[in-house]
């Protein structure tokens, strides 16, 4: 079966031009006006937030209107993309309303906001030629083993799903409900039903895998991926997207309906941590089970490749050991807080997330009060201090050095939990990533904005906090002075590196310039606050900045959109558009690394498989056709482009830096042929 590429020719031509950095990317007048309106809108909203009188002040209303008009009337090729962007903006405004509210109002506002965003995603990804929404062609063609595997896995999952929905049938006091009584059989017999559920889900997935790939020659088979309702934005894909979105909204903001499903996980939680399950234990367990079994599916599917075999084993072990067992076992050993008394109070949360691979900036809570206490208080030692130093070492030394040698793939495609889920559970959705130049532009602006946001939010939260408190760490202390010195060195060094790169090799790169200016400005503001004795570094209240980051980025973006929208927007939405850790490593990978994907252009038959299956939306074929090295900040080195290439054109390599960035000397584009100087 021939796979249908999910992009159109005009977009590929655009991509080729952008790869060459062609001047034809210049903005039209309409786009300039749109962007101007959006910029004015953002400034007005920030002004409104600074004033902070009401949830919707005049400034905010005017700002949201300007953003809505700017985004809604943006110059797109198709009208439905305008409808999509207008709805997406309305969803964002709804999210802001939810952010300002509490309780049930917040819950319903967020449900509405994400519903609008899902509909927006539907308009954005609308394909007028698509007919087969139920994937009947796929269902007719899968074999009996696949059908049986699907049935068993769904039966296992339905135990959790039925426990989840049971709260909706809970009768009023003094009344009874037969449905509720039936559904409560599962959480009331949690040990047995949780075991059955996990065994059935795992067994079903393995059976499906066996039915799909056993008996076939080795090599990737993506048969029917464009016709399967789940993986081609058909009805099942939409249902899964909606269910995941509702689950994430409840997980983050309204866990009450999950109560009976959480009870189902109690026996396992008691066994591992010695305490009752909560929504995060339920989530962590499901997350790990999914990575484990779909990881095995991935290994079997890509069994011809040693790279995928080793990488996926690391992905599974990293999730199982580093992200799941170590934090929970440490918690049960009381390194995590629950039994630790500070000033007579029981502390909670200090070591919940002691995943040793999850450092700042991905872990936004790395410098929360609970973690600062755990790093420094006697009761947590020696683990607390070790975790602090390991976190700093991981961020400042290990990450840039390893990324220099092998690219960011060591983290994004080998160790990271978000990447682990994307590579295993998300494998069926990798072709849904958007390959257009517009998406690439949005990616760069949004990702770098999130990086600035986490930098500002961390400094904003820590600075006033450390003006009041001091944490002794044996040979010194974490206080306002050491914080100022440490952060200043990082900011000044960061600005110097960015300016240096721009002044030498990358003379036209605007992102390096903007980054350098932002680092300098943050250093200046911090210095002013430090010497003037002020409390707030960035004018807006520090607590609001931190709270906003946790809400909009930490929960809504990374969780609800990042995973909930897998079946609609692809499996790496968060990694590509939002993850500050990926952004940090992307800068190293782009400008100072040995990693690249080499292309043997003469062998390329332009089939487009590589671009189709690139989860990061990179138009790999455009590079291959020109025989150019692929050196993109966003490439996570998953290696799938190379594996799906029928001609062996693409090779992931770590080699000398010399010549790594040199493109093809001749650029052929719709503007003519010119020298690549
Ligand atoms: S370019 Fe290749 S290795 Fe990089 S993210 Fe895309 S598919 Fe993976
Ligand atoms: S590089 Fe390989 S997969 Fe990509 S277009 Fe060329 S032949 Fe096809």
pLDDT, one tens digit per residue, over 269-278 is 999 888 889 9
Distance of alpha carbon 309 from alpha carbon 581, whole angstroms:
25
* DSSP sequence for 303-320: TT-HHHHHHHHHHHHIII
Give, using CA atoms, the residue closest to atom 8 of ligand 1.
638
Look-up of token digits 């990693």: 595
Q: With pLDDT > 70 as the criterion, what percentage of the chain qualifies?
A: 90
Q: Which residue has the higher pLDDT, 545 or 398?
A: 398
Nearest ligand to the C-alpha of residue 618? 1
> Which sign does the torsion angle of CA 236, 239, 241, 247 carry?
negative
The H-or-E segment that residue 611 falls in is helix 609-612
407 is written with which tokens?
A: 């690219």
* Backbone torsions φ then ψ of 232, nearest 5 degrees: -125, 35
Look at residue 22 in the predicted model and tell me its pLDDT.
Answer: 46
Ligand 2, closest atom to CA 645?
Answer: 3
| pLDDT of 376 over the 80 cut | no
pLDDT for res 500: 93
The predicted pLDDT at position 673 comes to 65
Distance CA(269)–CA(327), nearest Å, equals 12
State the DSSP code for 534. -
User: Nearest ligand to the C-alpha of residue 431?
Assistant: 1
pLDDT, tens digit (0-9, with 9 covering 90-100), for 283-332: 999 999 999 999 999 999 999 999 999 999 999 999 999 999 988 887 77
CA distance 85 to 70: 10
CA distance 44 to 52: 12
Q: Lowest-confidence range among 121-135, 177-191, 325-339, 488-502?
A: 325-339
CA angle 596, 602, 606 (to 5 degrees): 85
Please give the distance of CA 191 from its chain centroid, rounded to a whole number.
33
**Ligand 1 atom index nearest CA of 616:** 5
Q: Give SS3 for 651.
A: strand
pLDDT in tens, 172-210: 888 888 999 999 999 999 999 999 999 999 999 999 999
Q: Kindly state the tokens that stand for 61.
A: 């209303």
- Expressed in angstroms and rounded, the spacing between residue 394 Cα and the centre of ligand 1 is 24
Of 54-68, 143-157, 458-472, give the range with the top mean pLDDT.
143-157
- Tell me the pairing of strands 471-472 and 345-346: unpaired
3-class state of residue 598 by DSSP: strand
Burial 495-515 (b: 16+ CB within 10 A, else e): bebbbebbeeebeebebbbeb
pLDDT of the residue at 238: 94
The total number of residues written for the chain in this structure: 677
Provide, rounded to the nearest whole percent, the portion of the chain with pLDDT above 90: 54
Please state, rounded to an integer, the average pLDDT across all residues of the chain. 86
- Dump pLDDT digits (tens) for 73-104: 888 888 888 899 999 999 999 998 898 888 88
Mean pLDDT value across residues 463-479: 75
Q: Which atom of ligand 2 is nearest to the CA of 650?
A: 1
> pLDDT band at 461, cuts 50/70/90?
confident
C-beta 645 within 6 A of ligand 2: yes
Give the nearest ligand 2 atom to 625 CA.
6
Q: How far is the CA of 409 from the centre of ligand 1 (A)?
A: 10
The alpha carbon torsion through 397, 448, 574, 226 (nearest 10 deg) reads -120
CA distance 340 to 351: 11
Question: Which residue is closest in CA terms to ligand 1's atom 5?
Answer: 635
- Angle, helices 190-213 vs 279-301, to 10°: value is 20
pLDDT, tens digit (0-9, with 9 covering 90-100), for 530-551:
998 877 788 777 778 888 888 9
Instruction: Give the three-state DSSP class for 446.
Output: helix
Cα–Cα dist 394/201, whole Å = 35
What lies within 8 Å, CB to CB, of 294 at 6+ separation is 205, 424, 425, 427
Reported as half-sphere exposure (CB side, CA atoms, 13 A), residue 183 has a value of: 22
How far apart are the CA of 655 and the centre of ligand 2, in A? 22
> How many Å lie between the centroid of ligand 1 and the Cα of residue 616?
7
- Which ligand 2 atom is at minimum distance from the Cα of 624? 1
Range in 76-85, 391-400, 463-472, 587-596 the model is least confident about:
463-472
Please give the Cα distance from 542 to 460 (Å, whole number).
5
Instruction: Give the ranges where 125-265 is alpha helix by DSSP (H).
Output: 136-141, 144-165, 178-183, 185-188, 190-213, 235-253, 259-264
What pLDDT is recorded for position 668? 56
| 22, 105, 359, 371, 432 from 620: Cα distances, Å | 17, 45, 31, 42, 15
* 16 CA distance to ligand 2 middle (Å): 15
Task: Report which of residues 26 and 429 the model is more confident about.
Answer: 429
Per-residue pLDDT at 452: 92
- The confidence band for 342, taking pLDDT boundaries of 50, 70 and 90, is low
Nearest protein Cα to ligand 2, atom 3: 645
Please, where are the H alpha helices in 340-398? 369-376, 383-393
User: Which of 597, 599, 610 has most ligand 2 atoms within 8 Å of CB, for mutation?
Assistant: 610
Quickly state the pLDDT bin for 159 (edges 50, 70, 90): very high
Q: Retrieve residue 5's tokens.
A: 């590429």
Q: What is the dihedral of CA 588, 594, 595, 600, to 10 degrees?
A: 140
Tell me if 622 sits within 8 A of 663, measured CB to CB.
no
Residue 119 pLDDT > 60: yes
Q: At a CB cut-off of 8 Å and minimum separation 6, what does 26 contact?
A: none
Q: How far apart are CA 446 and CA 579, in angstroms?
A: 10
Is the minimum distance from the CB of 649 to ligand 2 under 6 angstroms? yes
Ligand 1 surroundings by CB, under 6 angstroms:
597, 614-616, 618, 620, 630, 635-641
Given a cut of 90, whether residue 406 has pLDDT beyond it is yes
pLDDT score, position 19 = 44
465 has pLDDT over 90: no
The residue whose CA has the least distance to atom 6 of ligand 2 is: 604
How many Cα atoms are found within 13 Å in the side-chain-facing hemisphere of 578?
Answer: 22
**Residues whose CB is less than 8 angstroms from the CB of residue 229 and which lie 6 or more positions away in sequence, other chains included:** 132, 133, 134, 135, 138, 235, 236, 237
**What is the number of other CB atoms lying within 10 angstroms of the CB of residue 180?**
16
Place of tokens 């990293």: 318
Which one has a higher pLDDT value, 71 or 194?
A: 194
Would you say 384 and 394 are in contact if contact means Cβ atoms under 8 Å apart? no
Strand, coil or helix: what is 144?
helix
Which residues does 593 contact at the CB level (< 8 Å), separation at least 6? 403, 404, 405, 407, 657
Taking the CA of residue 637 as reference, the ligand 1 atom at the shortest distance is 3
Confidence of residue 6 (pLDDT cuts 50, 70, 90): very low
pLDDT at 243 over 90: yes
- What is the C-alpha separation between 336 and 346, in angstroms, rounded? 11
């Amino acid at each position: 079966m021939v796979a249908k590429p999910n992009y159109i020719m005009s977009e590929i031509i655009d991509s080729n031009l952008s790869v060459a950095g062609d001047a034809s990317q210049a903005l039209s007048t309409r786009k300039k006006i749109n962007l101007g309106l959006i910029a004015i809108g953002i400034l007005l909203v920030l002004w409104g937030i600074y004033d902070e009188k009401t949830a919707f002040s005049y400034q905010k209303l005017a700002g949201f209107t300007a953003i809505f008009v700017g985004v809604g009337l943006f110059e797109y090729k198709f009208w439905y993309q305008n409808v999509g962007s207008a709805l997406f903006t309305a969803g964002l405004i709804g999210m802001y309303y939810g952010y300002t509210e509490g309780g049930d109002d917040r819950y319903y506002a967020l449900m509405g906001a994400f519903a609008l965003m899902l509909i927006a995603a539907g308009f954005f990804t609308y394909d007028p030629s698509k007919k087969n929404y139920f994937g009947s062609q796929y269902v007719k063609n899968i074999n009996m083993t696949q059908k049986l595997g699907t049935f068993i896995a769904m039966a296992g999952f339905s135990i959790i799903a039925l426990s989840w929905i049971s709260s909706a049938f809970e009768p009023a006091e003094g009344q009874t409900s037969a449905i509720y009584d039936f559904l409560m059989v599962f959480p009331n017999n949690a040990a047995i039903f949780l075991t059955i559920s996990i065994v059935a889900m795992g067994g079903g997935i393995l059976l499906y895998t066996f039915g799909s790939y056993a008996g076939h020659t080795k090599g990737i088979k993506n048969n029917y991926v464009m016709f399967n309702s789940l993986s081609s934005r058909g009805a099942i894909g939409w249902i899964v997207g909606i269910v995941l979105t509702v689950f994430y909204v409840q997980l983050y903001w309204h866990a009450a309906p999950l109560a009976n499903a959480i009870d189902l996980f109690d026996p396992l939680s008691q066994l591992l941590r010695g305490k009752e399950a909560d929504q995060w234990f339920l989530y962590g367990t499901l997350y790990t089970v999914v990575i484990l079994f779909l990881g095995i599916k991935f290994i079997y599917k890509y069994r011809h490749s040693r790279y995928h075999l080793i990488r996926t084993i690391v992905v599974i072990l990293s999730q199982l050991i580093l992200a799941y067992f170590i934090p929970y076992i440490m918690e049960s050993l009381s390194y995590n807080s629950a039994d630790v008394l500070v000033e007579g109070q029981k502390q909670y949360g200090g070591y919940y997330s002691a995943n040793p691979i999850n450092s700042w900036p991905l872990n936004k809570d790395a410098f929360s009060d609970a973690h600062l206490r755990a790093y420094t208080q006697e009761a947590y030692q020696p683990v607390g201090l070790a975790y602090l130093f390991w976190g700093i070492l991981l961020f400042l030394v290990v990450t840039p050095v390893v990324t220099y040698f092998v690219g960011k793939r060591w983290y994004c495609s080998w160790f990271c939990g978000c990447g682990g889920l994307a590579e295993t559970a998300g494998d069926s959705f990798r072709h849904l990533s958007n390959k257009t130049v517009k998406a690439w532009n949005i990616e760069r602006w949004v990702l770098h904005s999130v990086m600035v946001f986490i930098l500002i939010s961390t400094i904003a939260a820590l600075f006033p906090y450390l003006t009041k408190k001091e944490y002794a760490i044996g040979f010194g202390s974490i206080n306002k002075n050491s914080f100022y010195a440490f952060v200043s060195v990082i900011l000044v060094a960061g600005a110097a590196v960015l300016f240096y790169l721009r002044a030498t090799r990358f003379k036209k790169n605007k992102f390096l310039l903007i980054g350098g200016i932002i680092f300098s400005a943050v250093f200046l503001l911090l210095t002013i606050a430090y010497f003037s004795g002020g409390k707030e570094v960035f004018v807006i209240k520090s607590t609001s900045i931190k709270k906003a980051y946790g809400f909009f980025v930490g929960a809504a973006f990374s969780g609800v959109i990042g995973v909930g929208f897998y079946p609609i927007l692809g499996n790496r939405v968060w990694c590509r558009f939002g993850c500050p850790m990926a952004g940090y490593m992307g800068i190293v990978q782009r400008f100072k690394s040995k990693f690249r994907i080499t292309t043997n252009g003469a062998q390329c038959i332009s089939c487009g498989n590589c671009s189709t299956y690139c989860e990061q939306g990179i138009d790999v074929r455009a590079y291959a056709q020109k025989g150019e090295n692929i050196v993109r900040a966003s490439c996570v080195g998953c290696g799938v482009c190379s594996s799906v290439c029928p001609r062996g054109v693409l090779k992931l390599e770590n080699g000398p830096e010399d010549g790594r960035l040199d493109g093809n000397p001749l650029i052929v584009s719709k503007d003519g042929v010119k020298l690549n100087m």
